[in-house]
Amino acid sequence: MSVDFFWRRVDGTVLDELSPTELRALVPGWSDDDFGPLYAAGAVLAVERNGYLMHVALMKAVGGAGPDLRAAQLPVFGGEERTAVEGDPDCDAEFGEMAVWVLRPDEVRTASAFLDAVGVDELVGTVDAVLADEVASLGFATPWSEAWAGDLSADLRALKDYFAQAAAAGDAMVKVEAA
């Protein structure tokens, strides 16, 4: 099992102007020609297999409840979900449905403040057992390991830095999960 996650910084005005399919087209995948240049420019962030685990770790950071729950959800699966279903005029979904999540600039700032406050460097170690259980339950071919924990920590640090830059620039964000 491998599901990757992609984030793209955008001007907030496009969120109301574009359809879900058009928003999805703004977020390049690994093999798209514009991925490298956009990544180098800091406009795109992507992680292999760790998107959902990042979400789990952030949820555990707030105990899955409380006043910070919404802020903890924003970096990965939070925000407004926009879905196009097969048969919609502008849907190019391969599997019947395509979803993107969007964050407005104020939500990007909220997510950035949360990531700054949560201490992402220590987070993975704090919830290590929970993450190991998640990996086992999801049927990954590779078991949870110290190396994987290090990769997840690095991905969370990159996410924290990415959101900080986006918040400082006043950017909105489009997020996509891709198998």
Please name each of the domains of the chain with its CATH number: 4-178 (3.40.1760.10)
What pTM, to 2 d.p., does this model score?
0.91
Asked if pLDDT for residue 44 goes beyond 80, the answer is yes
95 or 39: which leads in pLDDT: 39
**What is d(CA 38, CA 3) in angstroms, rounded to the nearest whole number?**
21
pLDDT per position as a tens digit, 61-105? 988 777 889 999 999 999 999 987 655 555 555 545 678 999 999
The per-residue pLDDT for 18 is 93
Question: What one-character-per-residue DSSP string does 14-59 give?
Answer: HHHHS-HHHHHHTS--TTSTTHHHHHHTTSEEEESS-HHHHHHHHH
Those residues whose C-beta lies under 8 Å from the C-beta of residue 34, and which sit 6 or more positions away, are 28
Do 134 and 143 contact (CB within 8 A), yes or no? no
Mean pLDDT over each residue of the chain, to the nearest integer = 90
Asked if pLDDT for residue 130 goes beyond 90, the answer is yes
The per-residue pLDDT for 96 is 56
The per-residue pLDDT for 92 is 53
